[in-house]
Amino acid sequence: MKPAFPGRRGCSRGLLPAQKTARAADRSDPRDAAARMIWGPEAKGAVVRILDLVKGHLTKRSRLATDKEGAPADLEMRATVAVLLLEAAYGDEEYAWNEERAILDGLERSFGIGHREAVELVGRAGEIRPPVVSLSDLTDVIVDRYDDDQRMDLVTLLWSVIEADHAVHEWEKSFADHVARSVGLSEAQAREARARVRST
């Protein structure tokens, strides 16, 4: 009588080809072994590449989390961005729920923080909105601490809040354009920053 599971008595006789390859492979990197076990020998390094892609994606999403020198964004930087987003939201004199969600989502993505931390940051920002601090004080911080690409990310973030309610008022456009100029963006860069929102 043949055994119900041929090859089970032997260590490797019942293994699939990809499993045999993985078992016999160099085990210096278990991630490569896992990839071969799942997809076969041709997948060597696939898991590593996937992890690199995920890391790059998360880094891009959180580009405001560091300054232009690579140091972690401090409370001054985070609060500055949050205040600017609040000013953009209050441009139409109504703080709509979708604008609030855009602010929180933007802060979470941009700084790699959790929802509760984003809510606390918005609360602090609300205490120092103009006239407590001036708009020029805020944009000076952005110019001093962020590079050109990061400043474009900020302006894109502003537009994501402004367009969250699907209505752009003249004051809101003027505000975003003024911030873009104040942080040193050209007209072409400012247009590109806004276009990024429309393409998502």
Q: How confident is the model at residue 16 (pLDDT cuts 50, 70, 90)?
A: very low
Amino acid 183: pLDDT: 98
Residue 55 has pLDDT above 90, yes or no: no
By C-alpha distance, which of 131, 14, 128, 9 is closest to 76? 128
Domain count, the chain: 2
In a domain, 5, yes or no: no
pLDDT in tens, 118-146: 999 999 999 999 999 999 999 999 999 99
Distances (CA, A) of 46 to 27, 29, 31, 42: 15, 12, 9, 9
The single residue listed with the structure tokens 């016999």 is 24
| Boundary-marking domain end, from 43, 61, 79 | 61
Amino acid 92: pLDDT: 56
Q: Please give the share of the chain, as a percent, with pLDDT higher than 70.
A: 66
The verdict on 128 and 193 lying in the same domain is yes
pLDDT in tens, 20-45: 444 444 444 544 544 444 444 454 55
Counting every residue, how long is the chain? 200
The verdict on 26 and 92 lying in the same domain is no
In a domain, 78, yes or no: yes
Give the CATH number, domain containing residue 119.
1.10.3680.10
Amino acid 45: pLDDT: 55
CA atoms of 41 and 74, how far apart (whole Å): 46
Which residue would you say has higher pLDDT here, 117 or 10?
Answer: 117
**Residue range(s) defining the domain that contains residue 94:** 68-198
In degrees, to the nearest 5, what angle opens at C-alpha 56 toward C-alphas 51 and 59?
125
The verdict on 57 and 73 lying in the same domain is no
Calculate mean pLDDT across residues 49-53: 47
144's CB contacts (< 8 A; 6+ apart) are: none
**What is the pLDDT of the chain when averaged over all its residues?**
79
| Boundary-marking domain end, from 27, 61, 95 | 61
Amino acid 97: pLDDT: 84
The verdict on 167 and 74 lying in the same domain is yes
Number of other residues whose CB lies within 10 A of the CB of residue 50 = 12
| Boundary-marking domain end, from 8, 40, 61 | 61
The verdict on 131 and 32 lying in the same domain is no
The answer to whether the pTM exceeds 0.85 is no
The verdict on 106 and 26 lying in the same domain is no
The verdict on 186 and 114 lying in the same domain is yes
3-state SS, 54-103, equals HHHHHHHHCHHHECCCCCECCHHHHHHHHHHHHHHHHHHCCCCHHHHHHH
Residue 50 has pLDDT above 80, yes or no: no
128's CB contacts (< 8 A; 6+ apart) are: 79, 83
Residue 70: which region, alpha, beta or left (left: phi > 0; alpha: psi -120 to 50)? left
Identify the DSSP state of 113: -
Residue 14 has pLDDT above 90, yes or no: no
Q: Omega of the bond prior to 131 within 30 degrees of 0, cis?
A: yes
Which string of DSSP letters, residue by residue, matches 15-62? S-HHHHHHHHS--S-HHHHHHHHHH-GGGTTHHHHHHHHHHHHHHHHT
The verdict on 56 and 78 lying in the same domain is no
pLDDT in tens, 154-191: 999 999 999 998 889 899 999 999 999 999 999 999 99
Amino acid 198: pLDDT: 80
pLDDT in tens, 60-119: 458 899 999 999 999 999 999 999 999 999 865 666 789 999 999 999 999 999 999 999
